[in-house]
Structures are given as C-alpha cells and as structure tokens.
Amino acid sequence: MRILHTMLRVKNLDESLAFYCGQLGMTLKRRSDYPGGQFTLAFVGYHGENAHEIELTWNWDGRDYEIGTAYGHVALAVEDIYEVCERLRSAGVPITREPGPMKHGTTVIAFIHDPTGYPVELIQR
C-alpha cells in the first residue's frame, strides 16, 4: 500500500491552483469537472512516480468551510527555507511563522497559509 493523495476542499479553485502550482511549484496533474455533482477535482503535486498528490475539491455552490481544530497541515521539504519564504512574501503570501528552529528541536521550519486558509509547513532539508 501507499498514500495516493490528500483531499482539501477549496473556496476558489483558480486561486488555489495559482498558489500550489505558481507559488509552490507543483504541477496540475489532472482536472475533472462533474456537472452532475457540481464540483471539480484538481490533482496537483511534484514530479516522480511515487509522488504524493493533493486533491483540490471545489464545490460550485460557493459554500464556505471551517478548517477545524483536528486538521494539522500539509508539509513540504524545501532546500533553502529563507529564500523560499522571501520569494513567497514578495508574491504576497503571508508567512504565519517565520523560518527558525522548531520549539524543543533544531529542525528549521516556517508556516504559510494557502488561499483557503489551510496551514502549509515548510521544512528545511
């Protein structure tokens, strides 16, 4: 077995695709509209045969979502966390936790939010 994807419901598909593909460098792998159910599924991710994908689900009815207290975050490995954060900040992406060592550890992390409000953790590799 292996993990295939994680699904996130998004408020605005175009903004979310611009964020995940434009700002975070993912690729739109496939997109399907389901008129009968009034929703669109868009799968984004990085290249590689076993690469985990994120399924962005956009419901056409304009409903709003609560992130919830049980949800954690999506985590991405980055080569230069300080450069990535500066690039994202310049593009208008809010940095909600500046890069630095995690509490009680030495791993350098930062947090940003996607357009819907989901936290994304950046981890220095």
Q: Which two tokens stand for residue 22?
A: 């434009």
Residue 93: pLDDT band (50, 70, 90) is: very high
Which pLDDT does position 70 carry in this prediction?
A: 83
Active site residues: 121
Sequence-ordered alpha helix ranges (H) in 54-124: 81-90
Read off the tokens for 51. Answer: 């690469």
Residue 1 pLDDT class (50, 70, 90 cuts): low
**pLDDT tens sequence across 74-83:** 999 999 999 9
